Structure 1
Amino acid sequence: MPETTTIEATDEQLAEVKYNADGLVTAIAQDVENGDVLMLAWMNAESLKMTFDEGRMVYWSRSRQELWRKGDTSGDRQFVREAYYDCDADALLFKVEQEGAGACHTGARSCFFRSFG
Structure 2
Amino acid sequence: MSLSKHIKWNEAGLVAAIAQDWETGEVLMMAWMNPEALDLTLREQRAIYYSRSRQALWRKGEESGNVQQLRELRVDCDGDTVLLKVEQVGGIACHTGRRSCFYRLADNNGELVVTDEVIRDPADMYGIKR
> Could you say whether these structures have the same fold, taking a TM-score greater than 0.5 normalized by the shorter chain as the test?
yes
Q: Does the aligned pair in 1 maintain the 2:4–2:38 contact within 8 Å?
A: no
SS at match of 1:14: helix
Structure 1 unpaired stretches of 5+: 1-9
What one-letter code is carried by the residue in structure 2 that aligns with 1:20? N
Supply the distance in 2 between the matched residues of 1:80 and 1:101 (Cα, whole angstroms): 14
Partner deviation per Cα, 1:78-103 (whole Å, 9 max, x = no partner): 00000000000000001000011410
What one-letter code is carried by the residue in structure 2 that aligns with 1:58? I
**C-alpha root-mean-square deviation of aligned residues, in Å?**
0.9
Q: Structure with the greater relative contact order (CA < 8 A, sep ≥ 6): 1 or 2?
A: 1
Supply the distance in 1 between the matched residues of 2:6 and 2:90 (Cα, whole angstroms): 33
Q: Does the aligned pair in 2 maintain the 1:70–1:77 contact within 8 Å?
A: yes
What one-letter code is carried by the residue in structure 2 that aligns with 1:23? G
Partner deviation per Cα, 1:15-35 (whole Å, 9 max, x = no partner): 120110100000000000111
Supply the distance in 2 between the matched residues of 1:56 and 1:39 (Cα, whole angstroms): 15
What one-letter code is carried by the residue in structure 2 that aligns with 1:66? A
Q: Does the aligned pair in 2 maintain the 1:78–1:96 contact within 8 Å?
A: yes
TM-score normalised by length of structure 2: 0.80
Partner of 1:47: 37
Say whether residues 1:112 and 2:102 are aligned partners.
Answer: yes
What one-letter code is carried by the residue in structure 2 that aligns with 1:69? R
Partner of 1:4: none
TM-score normalised by length of structure 1: 0.89
Say whether residues 1:76 and 2:66 are aligned partners.
Answer: yes
Supply the distance in 2 between the matched residues of 1:14 and 1:116 (Cα, whole angstroms): 35
4+ runs of 1 displaced by more than 6 Å? none
47, 50, 56: which one pairs with 1:60?
A: 50
Larger radius of gyration: 2
Supply the distance in 2 between the matched residues of 1:67 and 1:39 (Cα, whole angstroms): 17
Structure 2 unpaired stretches of 5+: 108-130
